[in-house]
Amino acid sequence: MVVGRGRQDGRAGSGIAGLDRMMHGGFPVGRPYLVTGPNGSGRTLLGLQFLMEGLRHGEPVLLVAVDEPPHEILENVRTFGWDLSKVHTLDANPGQLAYRRLGSVQEIKSLQEVRSMQELGDRKPTTSTTEDITLQSIYLKLRRQLEVLPARRLVIDSMTSIRHFALRATGEQQTDRTEIQSLLRFLAEREVTTLITALPSPGGELTPEQILCRGELMLRREWSGPSMRRTMQVLRMRGTAHDTEERRFTISSEGLHVDDAAPAGDED
């Protein structure tokens, strides 16, 4: 396996040049990070761009899809022209088809059978049994699978939905902090650089993932007349200097692009 530059210098590039400059080179490798923002702010796209950067450096990568089925996520970014055939994907949403082929998209229901699209070939879709989504079930599947697929980058999209489905399954008010801590510690021990997406917590209350993740990015979006204004901010990042200014970003046919200058009126 070819190891990317991001792992040689202790950094995992995000695939977004402006964001990497904000973090003075990228994410410190082997740690979990939180990406928060409202729906439509670009959380999933940022995660996919992060995975694509890993593929460019020869790293195996894994997407845990909860909010949307993998084929829908990847169809949404088809216009970018990215080759996503090597993105291994766990569809954590119950009741979906076990396999569904759509162009270069690979959708996988069980982590026990993760494989690339090239290996998937012409396998026909089969229906799956419904299973509850819990953090513990995802943790156990990841633990088994990382013995087979030594992923260096992982995106979980999203923790908000995991908590929602766990509530439906167990009736508990929130995912237990111990389970989140076990998952994040396991991933850190395996040196997997992980991005976890989530909606902002209601009322500004601290969630377990905010406390336990080693850094947090905040994406914001607001309308100004007919125009959409998007900004990104590194709220915190342990173990590295970082730019805390709120920066504008745009979404184009190439993905996310972060401006180097702070938004007008935001500087002291």
Distance in angstroms (rounded) separating the CA atoms of residues 32 and 183 = 10
Q: Residue 74, exposed/middle/buried by CB under 10 A (0-12, 13-18, 19+)?
A: buried
Model pLDDT for residues 2-59, shown as the tens digit of each residue: 333 445 579 999 999 999 999 999 999 999 999 999 999 999 999 999 999 999 999 9
- Tokens read off for 182: 């076990």
Which residue type does 110 have? S
**Domains of the chain and CATH, by start:** 5-199+207-258 (3.40.50.300)
Number of residues that this document lists for the chain: 268
- Tokens read off for 155: 């995106």
Q: Which residues pair with 258 in a beta bridge?
A: 249
pLDDT score of 7: 52
Q: Is the pLDDT of residue 265 over 70?
A: no
pLDDT score of 115: 44
pTM score, whole prediction: 0.83
Q: Is the pLDDT of residue 141 over 50?
A: yes
Residue 187 pLDDT level (bands cut at 50, 70, 90): very high
Residue by residue, DSSP assigns 51-65 as HHHHHHTT--EEEEE
Helix and strand tally (H, E) in the chain?
9, 11
